[in-house]
Structures are given as structure tokens and as C-alpha cells.
Amino acid sequence: MSCRDATAINALIAADNRVHVADLRGPALSPIRGGLADDWVHPDDVGYTRIANLFQAPGRAAALLPGRARVNQHTPRAAHGSAG
């Protein structure tokens, strides 16, 4: 995929209020030091926290879309496989 293709896709996404994107490019995950495991490829705990934080806002925005099912976090759910 070319940069032009990615830019076109991003423009389509931006035009649709139902789509929320977590941008993991550029300075979003900076500084890289202190975010990678010893293999310098995979994130460490700090890196995974940064990634999770980048998904938080788009996830919350998507959860507020009309027609989305709401889960009451204070209501206990039935255990899987329980008789009832």
C-alpha cells in the first residue's frame, strides 16, 4: 500500500463518524527508549501501556455510538455453563 493509498483511506475514515482510529504512527509511541523489550522489537510493559492508552479514546468514542449495546458493569453476569 502506498502512502497515497493510506492517505485516501484515512480521508474516507475521517468522513464517517462511526469509525474511530487509534493512530499508532509517528510520535504517538515516542519516546521509543523505555518502551521496547530487550529484543528491541516487541513492546515492554511501558510500550504496551502506551499502546493501550492510544486505543482508549477511540474505544470510548465507538462505545458511545447510537445503537451500541450498553453493559451495566454493576450487574453480575451469569457464569458460563451454569444451570438456570
Q: Which residues contact 75 (CB under 8 A, 6 or more apart)?
A: none
User: Predicted confidence band at 68 (pLDDT cuts at 50, 70, 90)?
Assistant: low
**Residue pLDDT, tens place only, 5-54:** 888 888 888 787 777 778 777 777 777 677 888 898 888 998 899 888 88
Question: In the beta sheet, which residues pair with residue 36?
Answer: 43
Q: Is the peptide bond before 31 cis (omega within 30 degrees of 0)?
A: yes
Domain edges within the chain? 24-63
C-alpha cell at 22: 487509534
Place of cell 510520535: 27
